[in-house]
Amino acid sequence: MAWNLKHLTGGTIILRNKDFIILYRGKDFLPHGVKQSVIKQEARVDAQQVQEEEARLTVIDSLQMFTDLPSEETSAGTFREYLDFQLNHVQETTENNLGMVELEAEKHRLEKELKDQERRLSILMKKIERSNEALAKLHSSWNPSEQSADKELLTEEERMVFRKIGLKMDEHVLLGRRGIFDGVIEEIHQHWKHKEIVKVITKQNQAYQITYTSMLLEVETGGMLIATQKLTNSHAIILYRGKNYRRPTKSSPSNLLSKREALRRSVEVQRRGSMKYYVWERQKSIEDLQWRLANVIRKIRELTV
C-alpha cells in the first residue's frame, strides 16, 4: 500500500508501520491546476526555443552563402547548450536533493526511536528502584538465626547410614518458589516428631543456591546437615534432628517471613530479574541506534560539503 501511494502521489515515504503511513509532498509540490499551467508554459517555452534555434540556423546558413564565412560549429548561446546543461547539472542536483530528503527522514526516525528507547529505559530503572525498596522492606522483617556453637559430632559411618535412610524415604518436604519461610520449618519439625531424618526436595539448580538453602535450613531448624544429593530433576537435602533434639514450644518461628510475605519476595525477585534483562536489551538497542544515527549524520555532512 505504501509503495502504491508513493508512485500514485509522487511523494516521499517518511514513516511506515502497522498503524499509519506518512508521506512528504516535497518542496516542489504544486496543486493540479497550477501544475498543468506550468506544464503548458514549459511546452510553449520549449517550442519557442526550438523555433528560435531553427531561425538562428537559417540565418547562419544564409550568411555563409553570401559572405563565404567559414562554418564553425559552436554551442555557445544555443538551445543545445541549454539541453546539455539540463542533462548534466539539473538531474544531478535533483538526485542529491532526493538523497538528502531520505537521509533527513532517516535521521528524524532514528532520533525519535532513540528518544523513545531512552524514555522506556528510564521507566524500567524507576521500576527496579521501587522493586529494590519493596525487597528491602521485606528483608527488614526477616532476621535469620545464629548457628549454635555446640553441635553434635557424627562419624562417617553414621553419616553414610543416615544418608541412605534419607534417600530411601518417600515422605519429604518440598520447597517451592517461596523458598524458606516459617511454614517450612514447622513442617520439618512435624516430620521430626515421628522420624529422626527428614528429606527436603528443592528445584534449585545453581550450586550456590543449594548450599545456601541447606545451610539456612540447618541453622533455622537446629538440626544437622547430612548431605545434599542430586536427583533426576531436583536436589535432596538430608537433615538429622540430633540425639538431644527437643521439640520447640513454638514450632513456627517468628524471625522468618510468613507464607504471604515469602510469595511477595519471590514475585519481586523474579520481576526484578526480568526488568534487569529488559534494561540490558534497551541499553543494547540505544547503543545500536546511536551508532546508526552517527553514520547518517556523517553522510549528511558529506553531501552538504
Q: Where are the domains of the chain?
A: 1-29, 86-142+260-304, 153-256
pLDDT value, residue 39: 83
- pTM of this prediction? 0.57
**pLDDT tens readout for residues 92-124:** 555 566 777 788 888 899 999 999 999 999 999
Evaluate whether 145 touches 219 at the Cβ level (below 8 Å): yes
pLDDT of the chain along its 305 residues, tens only? 888 887 777 778 888 887 888 888 777 777 777 778 878 888 888 888 778 777 777 776 776 666 655 555 555 556 666 666 666 655 555 556 677 778 888 889 999 999 999 999 999 999 999 999 998 888 887 776 776 666 778 888 988 999 999 999 888 999 888 888 888 888 898 888 888 999 999 988 888 889 988 998 888 888 889 999 998 889 999 999 888 888 887 767 778 888 888 899 889 999 999 999 999 999 999 999 999 999 999 988 887 76
Architecture of domain 153-256: 2-Layer Sandwich (3.30)
